[in-house]
A and B are shown apart, each in its own frame.
Chain A
Amino acid sequence: MTTSRPARLLALPLAAALLLACAPRDEYVSARASSLVAASVGDALTLDPAAISDNESAQVAMQVFEGLVRNREGTSQVEPALATRWSVSKDGTVWTFQLRRRVRFHDGTPFDASAVVFSFERQRDHNHPFHFQAFTYWESTFRNIREVKAVGPFTVEIRIDRPYAPFLANLAMFPASIVSPTAMRRLGRGFASRPVGTGPYQLVHWEKGERIILTANRTYWDGPPKVQHLVYEVVPDAGQRLVSLQSGTVDVAYGLAPADRQLVRLHPDLTLYRVSGNNVAFLAMNTQRPPFDDVRVRRAVNHAVNKNAIVKLVYQGLAIPASGPIPPALWSYHGRAARYGYDPTRARSLLSEAGYDPTLTPRLYVMSTPRPYLPSPVLVARMIARNLADAGMKVELVVRPFAEHLRATQLGEHDLCLAGWAGDNGDPDNFLYLLLDRDNARRGAARNQAMFMNESLHILLVAAQAVMDQRARERYYRRAQEIVAEEAPWVPLAHTDLVVAARRSVRNLQVHQSTIINYRKTVKHGAP
């Protein structure tokens, strides 16, 4: 059938106009609806999970890779991931993992025991062809691993040097991710910018300094993710991140300025995710030298510091006052162990009871650079100094850049010092043993900046490492927190909250204590 020419002449432009009017916009809308854009503070540095030590890189790596185990949604508890079950030998040094079958890496390589051995051995063995550097996390956290070997196609045995209960929690961290050996062999160092794992998302494009685009892994063993594309867009300015979120050009924004938090809460289209962070900021007293070798003086300091005012003013509501070393969200937290309210009168009477010489000027060491857990260290130090002066203790501030501050306080040069810690693996050991055990009060490398040496505490903490039963461990740690409260080596100051803002159309965001967001089950509703 033929139409006359004039009719065609008329029909063609009309049809074209109609197409032009609807098609691109609809396409844009549908593409936008199936992708989720997250505004991040900076670009990832590397996507080789073994080499990562920054948060931005870990964010992306945790979508692309998985380890043998992972953290259960919203907790620091461990659940199966690439391993389906595991057991530990009687002496606590041999862990045997049964691996998940029928899992493939994004490049099609089947996942099996050899991939696990490869991923660990390249970090452990300095002569391994893919041991590109000394991997930071391995050298600090995984050094206790002696051997990793395949004992069957889907069975792996990991031998550690002594029984160590937090070991499983460590395996849920990103450096223990399993990488595709084929891809690593093919790409070498290039693997760091073209990572291949088994995770829910795979990398499609990385424009350095600008954005990373991930796409859903259709064959993900735990069910393909709902959001088709995941885009990490680098937006360095906090104000710009908020504006982009408000206008809907991004769906999730990391690292908001504290002052913008209430604004997000007022916005009808936005949701604020607030996670109590896995960290602590504290004032450590050097318990090995006068006057802070006297527990009465330490208690006096605890009563003298107006913690609430400091935390509210300095953190602008983004932190909670700390009552002890462990953040409340961590298991074994013992809230009732604390006992020191703000009470200048009591502080003064304790000082005179201890015969404190008011002409002394203990030196309070403070870092000049802000830390994630301590946004304005010098201001905090000045407020503490003010509080102590009110209770009759004059202190002298020693302000130094962070590296020098750390060196000096680890040598124990200070009388008092501000310090803090951001936990790695969600195990109480990571706080109590590291920060308060006598093993870590060695001058020169003291993580225990209070130089606190308490034999009962030591026995409890070491026992808790060797026992695998979590309820028993919890008992030990609760008792340990009571000892710390009684002996008062610190003034615990604050646990900083982590804040992520998202559009309301985004549901099922799992924000972990480390701020790493898991998008595995995230859904995005409706148009932008």
Chain B
Amino acid sequence: MTARLPRLHLSLRAKLSIALGSAALLPLIAVSAVAGRVALGRLERNLLVQTRQTSHIAVNLLLRQVQRISREAGKLASDPELHELLALEPSLVGGFLQGYAEATEAGLIEVVLPDRTAVARIAPHLRGGMTQIASRPESEALARALDYERYLSLAVIGGRLVIQASAPIVDSMFVLRGAVIMTTPLDEQMADYIKSVVRADIGFLTGRRPTASTYVDESGRRLPGVDPPLELGLRVLRGSTQETIGSVGGQDHAVAFTPLQTVHGRRIGMMSVALSREDFRRAQISAVRSLVLGGATSLLLALALAYVFGKRITIPLERLHRSTQAIAAGDLEHEVVVETDDEIGDLAGAFRGMTGALREHQERLAARVREILTLHQIARAVSSVIGLDQVLRLVVNEVASVLGAERGVLLLTGKQGGLELSGEFNLLRVSGEPHVPQEWRELAERVLAQHTATVSGTVLAVPLETRERGVGALVMARRESGGAFSEADLRLVVTFADQAAIAIENARLYAEVSAFSAELEETVKRRTAQLTLMNEELGRALADLKSTQALLVQQERMAGLGLLVAGVAHEINTPAGAIQGSAQMLGETLNRLVVRLRDLLDRGLPREEATALLDRMERARRSLSQSGLLPPAEMRRRARELAAGLEARRLPDARRLAKRLLEAGAAEIAEDVIRLSDRVPPDLVVGIVEDLSFLERSSLSIQVAISALVRLVRALKSYAHSDQQAAVVDVDITEGIETTLTILHNTLRYGITVQRSYAELPRIPVYQDELNQVWTNLIHNAAQAMNGKGELAIETLRRDDQVGVRIVDNGPGIPPEIMPRIFEPFFTTKPPGEGTGLGLGISQRIVEKHGGRIEVESRPGRTAFTVWLPLHGPPRKESTGEPA
């Protein structure tokens, strides 16, 4: 059975308000309860956290004070006046310290002699008796200072915590004159000072006993401070900061206790930092109260409004709701259209205000982001190396897009510089016509002349200037509908213009430098190509040489070949080594040079200056190839002069710079080095000059080496003439001898002087290459007979129808007993491996083939081999039928 409830007839408004009320009430209560609890807990926790953080700051402050006192002690200890007084009249030190009292923060200053007697003591800022905290002879501060060390610690003296700093007094002769000790108690003064900064009550405790604090009771009397609970106090003295809630002067406080320790880590006390809990409690209560009251009021208001206005209210509410949703979704443009003339209207108004502010913020943020992005892009453009045109396009485009400008032109000064803008402009079109209105030109000229940026309505003009000069002007325009430019826009463009000017300057400079490096690379490439050609020629010559050698071997000229190869190998190796060495360094130097040139570019030198510098460097390089280096003595003299010049301009390392410049043959660059030294490190300029000069020298030395090689190969060719080896040709005998001497140059050049005495001889028909071998054998034998040192005389003679070649050495001579055997094959006096013993045998055979003869005379100090050849050449029958 169910009781039938009477059916209530309620109005729509009443239903609405009941539904609204009950639906709102439950979550409101729940939210209030949760929020209240969370807020309370947080506040409590926050209080402890804040106390701990405050204590961190307080400790750092205290230590800064410690540091300050230590520095002061050090400064006082190094005062020469104090040194003098201690050496001459120690009794006056007290007076000296009095003069010091004003400036110091220390509580007590003592000066102690090395024998540990105090010579003076002042207490400028000490309330209590100074003797209480005076240092004892056995104190560590004193002992350390008298052992030459600075010392700094916290300590307990006379039951009080103090800062102690000491420093040795060591005079300019390194004699220990005594020690300075500064002691400052951690007293109320210190506590007050820290409180004045951190705005929390401070206390100092010796061990766990409070000794000084900023706490006062109701009557304004100082209290000693808070005692930590036993357990907690012990934990602090074990080294960790602890917080607790405690009562000071009847008020609840959150207190953090931080341990204080000596430099040896011994904990001797603590510092307390207290924040009043009352303030926080009041904040808590008011927070909860306003939460509850606010909830209740709004509930009542909701009910009342629902009841009174019913439907009228639901519509604006609905709108408001939609607006919040829209705004929450990020649509800040959404208009809150609630025009009622009540609280909701106000709310909507406030809401509008809020969204407006939000929008403004967001716009400002966006503008700032745009600005940063732009600067970033510009910066990137500056740092990455791109062409001038690109930079210019970038500049105009970026500025225009940031400002929402419709048109922008960048006007650059022409090559003549100055302000002749007309006709010399580079014009870049963003949109609209390429035409630049006359009034823009005038505006641009004006801003550049006056070094000022202007904005007038929808037109904005900014000069582009580097440090030295104006490089152009930037004019931007918006359509009337786009709105006027603001001061903020102007600021942005000015910032931007500074960057852009540098970019433009850099781009120009880069273009010039890259042209220069390209030219340089081209030169190197050309030289390399030449070298390759020469190398090929050399290769061919070597191939010739090889086949020649093959033939020599084939013709059983092993001995000659051996000699030849030994001599030639050395002659080839020297220039080849030089080429190899230079070539290896070329690539490296080129790389380094390009890096250095980039670096130079990045220094942002004005164009003219950079061009001039590079031109002078190039001139110095060219002149090097023409003039070469100075003689050493002259070089040293010039280096001294140059160094003096550089030193006068206070350049560091002047001597080394001078030497490097001179060695690079570029003394004239010195002026540039000096002039640019504030912007470009002298090292960089000198480095570039050195690289250039190295490139030049390397290519010169390669050329020299290659011509040496070519000469040698020519000599070899004429020596061996493989293509005509079997034929008889008319030759100048003297030429053959000279060729041989060239090849044997290496054997002879140390210690053998060659004297030539050549008669006028006609050309005679001979087997040229074979005959050359005779000369080689005879000259080589002579050199060996003299053991590499002595005089070699070569003489040519003519007698009747014969020509003679006499080769004379001043060696020990051929012993008479072996004289008859010297022409025997395989007879040798040389140690095994040094000679084949075929030399003279072969020579004799060759001379006999020519129809000539060899004569020998020998005594100690003079041995002469004379080769006689018929003027008309070898007997005819010998000249044919020889195998090729």
Residues of chain A at the chain B interface (Cβ within 8 Å): 3-7, 9-11, 14, 18, 21, 246-248, 259-260, 262-263, 265-269, 308-309, 312-313, 316-317, 382-383, 386-387, 504
Q: List the A side residues contacting B150 at CB < 8 Å.
A: 259, 316-317
Does the CB pair B317–A309 fall under 8 Å?
A: no
Q: Which of B20, B63, B324 has the most CB of A within 10 A?
A: B63
**Range class of the B interface residue count:** 35 or more
Which of B67, B148, B151, B258 has most chain A Cβ within 10 Å? B148
In the complex, which residues of chain A have a beta carbon less than 8 angstroms from the beta carbon of B126?
none
List chain A residues, Cβ under 8 A from B259.
268
A266 contacts which chain B residues (CB < 8 A)?
63, 66, 152-154, 260-263
Inter-chain contact A3/B56, CB cutoff 8 Å: no
Flag if B27 contacts A312 (CB, 8 Å): no
| Given contact pairs A309-B176, A317-B149, A4 touches B23 in the complex (Cβ within 8 A) | yes
Within 8 A of A (CB), among B3-32: 19-20, 23-24, 26-28, 31
Contact A6/B56 with A265-B263, A266-B153 known, Cβ cut-off 8 Å: no
Q: Supply 16 A–B pairs (Cβ within 8 Å), ascending by A.
A: A3-B23, A6-B23, A6-B24, A7-B23, A9-B321, A18-B38, A246-B60, A265-B263, A265-B265, A266-B260, A268-B59, A268-B241, A268-B258, A269-B241, A312-B147, A387-B174
Compute how far the CA of A10 lies from the CA of B298 in the bound complex, rounded to whole angstroms.
10
Also in contact, A262 and B263, with CB within 8 A (given A7-B27, A386-B174): yes
Q: How near does chain B come to A376, taking the closest CB pair, in angstroms?
A: 13
The verdict on A268 contacting B148 (CB below 8 Å), with A18-B38, A309-B176 known, is: no
**Pairs of residues from A and B, 3 with the lowest C-beta to C-beta distance, nearest first:** A4-B23, A312-B148, A262-B152
Please tell me if B75 contacts chain A, counting CB pairs below 8 Å. no
Is the CB of B370 closer than 8 A to any CB of chain A?
no
Interface residue B648 (Cβ < 8 Å from any Cβ of A) = no
Tell me whether A14 and B31 are in contact (CB under 8 A).
Answer: yes
Cα–Cα, bound, A7→B28 (Å): 7
In the complex, what distance in Å separates the CA atom of A247 from the CA atom of B173? 41
B291 to chain A, nearest CB (A): 10
State which residues 169-209 of B face A: CB under 8 Å: 170, 173-174, 176
> When the two chains form their complex, are residues B258 and A11 in contact, meaning their CB atoms are under 8 A apart?
no
Asked, given contacts A265-B263, A266-B153, whether A247 binds B27 with beta carbons under 8 Å apart, the answer is no
Residues of chain B lying within 8 A (CB to CB) of residue A6: 20, 23-24, 302, 317
The answer, yes or no, to whether B239 is at the interface (CB within 8 Å) is yes
Task: Report A-chain residues with C-beta under 8 Å of the C-beta of B92.
Answer: none
State which residues 132-174 of B face A: CB under 8 Å: 147-154, 168, 170, 173-174
The reply on B35 being an interface residue by CB < 8 A is yes
Docked Cα-Cα span, A248 to B20, in Å, equals: 52
CA distance A268 to B265 in the complex (A): 9
Rounded to whole Å, the gap between the CB of B235 and the closest CB of chain A is 13
A452 to B321, CA, bound (A): 93
A313 to B168, CA, bound (A): 9
Q: Mark each residue of chain B from 320 to 334: 1 if its CB lies under 8 Å from any CB of chain A, else 0.
A: 010010000000000
Partner of A4, one of B19, B260, B324: B19
- B23: chain A residues at CB < 8 Å are 3-4, 6-7
Q: How far is the CB of A5 from chain B (nearest CB, A)?
A: 6
B70 surroundings in chain A (CB, below 8 A):
259, 262-263
Nearest-Cβ distance from residue B169 to partner chain A, whole angstroms: 11
* Nearest neighbor of A248 in chain B, beta-carbon distance: B56
**Chain B min CB distance to A21 (Å):** 7
What residue of chain A has the Cβ atom nearest to residue B71's Cβ?
A: A259
Given contacts A11-B27, A14-B31, A267-B59, contact A308 B241 (CB under 8 A): no
Cβ distance B304 to chain A, nearest Cβ, rounded Å? 14
B714 within 8 Å of A by Cβ?
A: no
Is A4's CB under 8 angstroms from B239's CB? no
Which of A3, A7, A247, A383 makes the CB contact (< 8 A) with B60?
Answer: A247
Q: How far is the CA of A288 from the CA of B513 in the complex (A)?
A: 55
| Total cross-chain contacts (CB, 8 A) | 100
Which residues of B, 316-348, contact A by the 8 Å Cβ criterion? 317, 321, 324
Interface on B for A, CB 8 Å cutoff?
19-20, 23-24, 26-28, 31, 35, 38, 42, 56, 59-60, 63, 66-67, 70-71, 147-154, 168, 170, 173-174, 176, 239, 241, 258-265, 302, 317, 321, 324
Residue of B nearest to A401 (CB): B653
| A18-B35, A246-B60 given; A308·B261 CB < 8 A | no
Complex alpha-carbon distance, A258 and B154, angstroms: 18
Q: B858 to chain A: closest CB distance in Å?
A: 48
A268 touches B20 (CB 8 A): no
Given known pairs A18-B35, A21-B42, the reply for A10 and B154 (CB within 8 Å) is no
Q: Which of chain B's residues have a CB closer than 8 A to the CB of A11?
A: 27, 31
| A4, A265, A266, A317: most-surrounded residue (chain B CB, <10 A) | A266
Taking CB atoms, residues of chain A closer than 8 Å to B263 are 262, 265-266
A14 to B30, CA, bound (A): 12
B151 to chain A, nearest CB (A): 7
> Which residue of the partner chain B has the closest CB to A404?
B656
Looking across the interface, which residue of chain B has its beta carbon closest to that of A15?
B31
Cβ–Cβ < 8 Å partners of A18 in chain B: 35, 38
Contact B63 A267 (CB under 8 A): yes
CB distance from A268 to the nearest CB of B (A): 5
Please indicate the chain B residues that have their CB under 8 angstroms from the CB of A265 in the complex: 261, 263-265
Asked if A10 and B239 make an inter-chain contact with CB atoms under 8 angstroms apart, the answer reads no
What B residues does A269 contact at CB under 8 A? 56, 59, 241
Contact between chains at A263 and B66 (CB < 8 Å): yes
B residues in contact with A268, CB < 8 Å:
59, 239, 241, 258-261
Known A-B contacts A11-B31, A248-B56, A266-B263; A312 and B258 likewise in contact (beta carbons under 8 Å): no
User: How far, in whole Å, are A313 and B172 apart by their CA atoms in the complex?
Assistant: 13
- Chain A minimum-CB-distance residue to B241: A268
**A10: which of B24, B148, B317 is its contact (CB, 8 Å)?**
B24
Question: Which residues of B are found within 8 Å of A387, using beta-carbon distances?
Answer: 174
Which residues on B sit within 8 Å (CB–CB) of A267?
59-60, 63
Cα–Cα, bound, A334→B154 (Å): 37
- Chain B nearest CB: distance from A455 CB in Å? 37
Taken together as a complex, chains A and B put the C-alpha atoms of A269 and B321 apart, in Å, by 52
Q: How far is the CA of A267 from the CA of B261 in the complex (A)?
A: 7
B38 close to A309 (CB less than 8 A): no
Chain A nearest CB, measured from B102 CB (Å): 25
B651 CB to closest chain A CB (Å) equals 15
* B238 → A minimal CB distance (Å): 11
Contacts of A262 in B (CB 8 A): 70, 151-153, 263
Chain B residue at minimal CB-CB distance from A317: B149
Residues of B within 8 A of A317 (CB): 149-150
B565 CB to nearest chain A CB (Å): 31
Q: Are A247 and B148 in contact (CB under 8 A)?
A: no
Query: Closest chain A residue to B324 by CB distance?
Result: A9
- Check A316/B149 contact, CB under 8 A, given A4-B19, A6-B302, A263-B67: yes
Across the interface, which residues of A come within 8 angstroms of B265, CB to CB?
Answer: 265
